[in-house]
Amino acid sequence: MSLPVESAQPFTFVLSVPEPSTHLVEIEMLVPPFSKGVAAFELVMPVWAPGSYSVRDFSRNLRDLAVSTETGEALQAEKIEKNRWRVKVPKNRRRGGFRVRYRVYANELNVRSSHVDSSHAYGNGTSLFLYVEGRKAEPQRLAFRLPDGWRPTIALPEKEGFFFAVDYDELVDSPFECGTHRVLEFTAGGKPHVLAIWGRGNEDEDRLVRDLTKIVETTSSIFGGLPYDRYVFLVHIAAGAGGGLEHRNSQSVGISPWHFQPEKEYRDVLALFAHEFFHTWNVKRVRPEPLARIDYTKEVYTRDLWAMEGITSYYEWLLIVRAGLVEPKHAFEDWAKSIKAHRETPGTAVQSAEASSFDTWIRLYRPDENSPNVSESYYRRGALIGLALDLSIRQSSGGRFSLDDVLRRLMALYGNSEEGYPEGALEKVIVEATGFPARHFFEEYVEGTKTPPFETLFLPAGLSLVEKPEKDGDEDESKDPKNPRDPEVKEKPDFRWKTKTEEGRLTVTEVYTAGAAQRAGINAKDEIVAIDGFKADEALLKRVENDLKPGDTVKLHVFRRSQLTEIPVVLGARRFSRYDLGPVEKPEPSQEGFFSSWLGRPFPKKDQASPPSP
């Protein structure tokens, strides 16, 4: 829909929260005049938030929409779709401008939506701001009318009480926090940064600032500088909070109050910050064509989310290792767990990285009991592809090139483009930037469903990926000093299902392809009442695992739709193991050099190395 516009005046939004406890946001939108008369125009509310690929229908929270001329003459606004209203314009007011007033119910405390209560007002633009069809490209400005003592924090530049955006895309890509939150300002990479914190927990403010500074400067060193003038970290600390969402010059993250300590929890917090910050380049500036021209009214499809989210997930650990915030062994633990979980997920053999990316709208954000059998997250699979690709490029080029070079090349080619990169460009740029022959790699691991051979890929870096027995609190796994070999991996009986206990009821939540439970006819949502005549609970399942052996038959009594059913199950076998990724005992100089070039850290000393594999 193309409309004549008068660009001298920006769109103006005035946001107020006169009664925060009602969770209502009041918005006044001033539509500047059209350059020529129009008989009607359309107001549109987005249905999704970029970076979170699920239709959320934000218009369900919009109420009390009223449109008038600037002189106060009421106009008819007819709802013609779930998120669209047509405004008819009288003949004597065909150019406008116009005034739009409405309210939004904001009571979702997550990074994708908006939340208002007596303590603060957090806003994500796609859940709040309407646009006029055909006029998203015009300048926008935003003003806040807040309770006494409240102040706004937002990445947009301010002048004379207004925050200015070059267009609607930038406006809604700039979340804000309003209230009495803490504001910590610091400089990193020569640029100003803001850490805005709502809520409290066991965080250490000074340490957070120091660590965020290292993350910023480590990432900046990859790309040769920072692409923004100012950056804002918006942090919500609250029970149940989690996740993050990237924006061009800011990020929003949710963190549980007690996840800043101990160190294991804090490492995950740092990885979250690093992940969203890396998106400043990978996604917000380097992105596929479909996500460069955002259609807020429907699903937008790309086969490259594995690269956007997955490669970013790979770099989240790489960054905090290079920054000196965590030891390499912590990244190794995460990668080893991901490789094992990936290999044990049935859907890995069904859905490729490209297919997972394309199907995000119907898969990732809408999981069900069958999801593990037919799908694999492009976050996890993409992170493993990124890891394998980086190792492969480094090995192929003798250490002269890496995935860093690919990202720099992508940024140089497309970082300032409004169009995004075309389909297939990623593979092409890998070849151009590094000389790595990527076609076979893509056929096998990106377009296909194979898993990279990590045991081989890690060796040039002096690392060994080995299978070891899973730790069991009931057994003494200490080594016999007369026999230094690791204990052998055992096979234990396995149902190949997932269960949960709620209010004393043991219920099956997932049944995995070709496993013992599926072969026996067990269904998800079955309530397990008894096993071999004994009341079923998690402790009994543990005893079955320890006392029986693969091939044994157990008799289950289950409630299915309130009807009692007896089902015999022949137990399958599962290797009771974990993966261990660690340094080899006697590295070659080339392996030490590879390790240091890759991770930015010296190869671990001998007393830190893993023992030889059996």
Q: Domains of the chain (ranges plus CATH)?
A: 11-178 (2.60.40.3650), 182-278 (1.10.390.10), 298-461 (1.10.390.10), 490-575 (2.30.42.10)
Q: What is the pLDDT of residue 613?
A: 37
DSSP string, 227-258: SSS-EEEEEEE-TT---EEE-SSEEEEEE-TT
| Residue 103 DSSP SS3 | strand
Helices of type H across 368-453: 371-374, 378-396, 403-414, 425-434, 439-441
CA distances from 300 to 113, 201, 289, 296 (A): 19, 38, 10, 8
Q: How many CB atoms lie within 10 A of CB 415?
A: 17
**Which residues of the chain fall below pLDDT 70?**
1-8, 472-486, 607-614
Q: How far apart are CA 546 and CA 394, in angstroms?
A: 44
> Which position has the token pair 């081989």?
456
- Give which of 557, 555, 550 is closest to 515, Cα–Cα: 550
Cβ 579 vs Cβ 337: under 8 Å: yes
Q: How far apart are CA 353 and CA 77, in angstroms?
A: 44
Q: Give the E-state strand segments of 45-155 in sequence order.
A: 62-69, 74-75, 77-81, 84-88, 98-105, 115-117, 120-123, 131-132, 140-145, 151-154
Q: What is the pLDDT of residue 305?
A: 98
Q: Which residues pair with 282 in a beta bridge?
A: 286
CA distances from 23 to 165, 200, 254 (A): 26, 21, 19
Q: What is the pLDDT of residue 480?
A: 55
Cβ 464 vs Cβ 486: under 8 Å: no
Cβ 111 vs Cβ 254: under 8 Å: yes
Q: What is the pLDDT of residue 473?
A: 55
Cβ 66 vs Cβ 103: under 8 Å: no
Cβ 9 vs Cβ 98: under 8 Å: no
